[in-house]
Amino acid sequence: MSFGGQTPTIVVLREGTDQSQGRGQVLSNINACLAVQSTVKGTLGPYGGDLLLVDENGRQTITNDGATVMKLLDIVHPAARILTDIARSQDAEVGDGTTSVVVIAGEILREIKEHVEQGVSSQVIIKGLRRASTMAVNKIREIAVNTAEANQRDTLLKLAATAMSSKLIHRNADFFTKMVVDAVLTLDQEDINEGLIGVKKITGGALQDSLFVNGVAFKKTFSYAGFEQQPKSFTNPKIVCLNVELELKSEKDNAEVRVEQVSEYQAIVDAEWKIIYDKMEACFKTGASVVLSKLPIGDLATQYFADRNVFCAGRLASDDMERVCLATGAKVQSTCSDIREEHLGTCAVFEERQIGGERFNFFEGCPAAQTCTLVLRGGAEQFIAEVERSLHDAIMIVKRAIKNRSIVAGGGACEMEISAYLHGYADEKVPHKQQTIIKSFAKALEVIPRQLCDNAGFDSTDILNRLRVEHRKGNRWAGVDFVGQGVANNMEKFVWEPALVKINALQAATEAACLILSVDETIKNQESQQPQGPQRGLPPGAAQRALRGRGRGMPRR
């Protein structure tokens, strides 16, 4: 129905709602994602730099770990946030390659930006990208080398060393690769739960002072008077683990007990003491030399056990208690009245030792050891925290490599081989307009070796040309040689990565690019708009402002 030949304006959305749509919106989203890419691409590779991130509370984090950067960046642009979420999924799924996902996804968007500007439909581009991604993944599976028959430990050491090559600890890679592989091989190989690898951080000392404990180690718990009289070392001790409080408690608030005479009051007091003494005697009669509890063990119990040459520790953290039970075979008891022989655990050696400025309890030589502990040393807290992040990535790589024995060469070799394959395939077998999309995808993959060269200070144009020539000759594992500043066979140089990491990174990057391209309208409610957020039709220069707190060494203003 019309009024005077004019269609009436229908207001559906609340006044003040921001609507951005069309090609300009897609380009705005691409620019925001390129801003995220430019933030993290400098951290890629063995010579990548670190980022100093300062949060709103002034807490500093120095890292080049992609997952940590994505977590700490305060991003307000909704499309850029999609990219960071998909990148973090790579960390959850594989544990490494987060930076690669962001860099590849950003470069795919950069390459197809020209097609968007020329008016090519987003759906045509998405279809082409998905086709290219499928062919790339199939090619990786085809060229991957199976290491099932090789020495497993040697393969895992080389994979862990490659994962650490871009980390802060790469100078001590030999020391830490052995530690990481030993840690993962300690776990149950059917269900490798990396959460059972305890990590304890102690400031002071050198990196080489870090320890691998084939068992459990934890910081000395809160202790009462009489603790120093307890023995601090046992051989083949019996261990009892409790979830029981061995402490005299004051009455609850507003508690009331009415008594007629003093003897009745004394009977109540005696009953309280009898209860706790019965608990302590029950623990002692088990023959246990070490008593651990999640709940407090008070001064009375501490002195009682000290007089009988028994070690006790209360207020033990739940994760430490879980790992002690796994390692020693003990079972947590919620009562002291029925502790049997099969509920006790044991280990070869229990010892309390001084590590730096802290005292630690060590349970070593455990019979059922399906857990271990890494005690990390270093000069500053931020330094040790970055070491922990580096080891986490290496542990995840080793974990995936045990379950998936296929490997490829790193240093940009895999990406260059796929790029050369896709260029040839597009020229021969894709006659229509999807050819340019596949070629753009192939060109985008070259960003990995190019960025590796840029971060190392090499001539990226020269090395990329040499890599293209080598791959056209059929040298599929030719990649960037960081030692000789040129080109080398990275499979022979033992620069290895699990094929799963490459496959997952490509799939995640393609998924991120397709998702961002499919968004051609953004509706923001007035309440959810933030004054720092990007404006409609964001130009490339202004895209950088979509990141709050970005910048190396620059605190957020």
Helix (H, G, I), strand (E, B) or coil at 234: strand
Share of the chain above pLDDT 70, in %: 88
- 31/535 Cα distance (integer angstroms): 12
Packing angle, helices 413-429 and 434-445, rounded to 10: 170
**What tokens does 475 get?**
């040298």
Q: Are residues 335 and 388 in the same domain?
A: no
Does 334 lie in the same domain as 263?
yes
Residues forming the active site: 65, 98-99, 393
Show the low-confidence residues of the chain (pLDDT under 50): 1-3, 16-18, 529, 531-557
| DSSP-assigned letters across all residues of 286-318 | TT-SEEEESS-B-HHHHHHHHHTT-EEE-S--H
The answer on 36 and 53 residing in a single domain is yes
Is residue 63 located within the same domain as residue 23? yes
Same domain, 188 and 117: no
Whether 320 and 395 map to the same domain: the answer is: no
Q: Which of 90, 59, 82 is nearest to 72 (CA)?
A: 59
Per-residue DSSP letter, 373:
E
- Would you say 76 and 549 are in contact if contact means Cβ atoms under 8 Å apart? no
Token pair belonging to 422: 């896709």
Q: Report residue 285 as tokens.
A: 């009669």
- Give 8's DSSP letter: P
What's the residue count for the chain? 557
> Containing domain of residue 318, as a range?
227-249+256-351
In a domain, 116, yes or no: yes
Starting at the earlier edge strand, list the strands of the sheet with 215-219.
215-219, 358-364, 349-355, 233-235
CB–CB of 164/176 below 8 Å? Answer: yes
41 and 139 share one domain: yes
Q: Give domain status of residue 237, yes or no.
A: yes
450: in domain? yes
- The CATH number of the domain holding residue 288 is 3.50.7.10
DSSP helix/strand/coil, 370 = coil
CATH of residue 449's domain is 1.10.560.10
Query: Do residues 189 and 296 both lie within one domain?
Result: no
Tokens of 193: 């739960």
Q: Note whether 275 and 159 are same-domain residues.
A: no
pLDDT value, residue 138: 93
CA–CA dist 259, 268 (Å, integer): 10
| β-pair type (290-293, 215-219) | unpaired
Identify whether 525 is part of a domain. yes
Q: What is the CATH number of the domain that holds 157?
A: 3.30.260.10
Give the Cα-Cα-Cα angle 168, 174, 177 (nearest 5 degrees). 80
Burial of 208 (0-12, 13-18, 19+ CB in 10 A): exposed
DSSP string, 69-127: HHHH-EE--HHHHHHHHHHHHHHHHTSS-HHHHHHHHHHHHHHHHHHHHTT--HHHHHH
Number of domains in the chain: 3
Amino acid making up residue 466: R
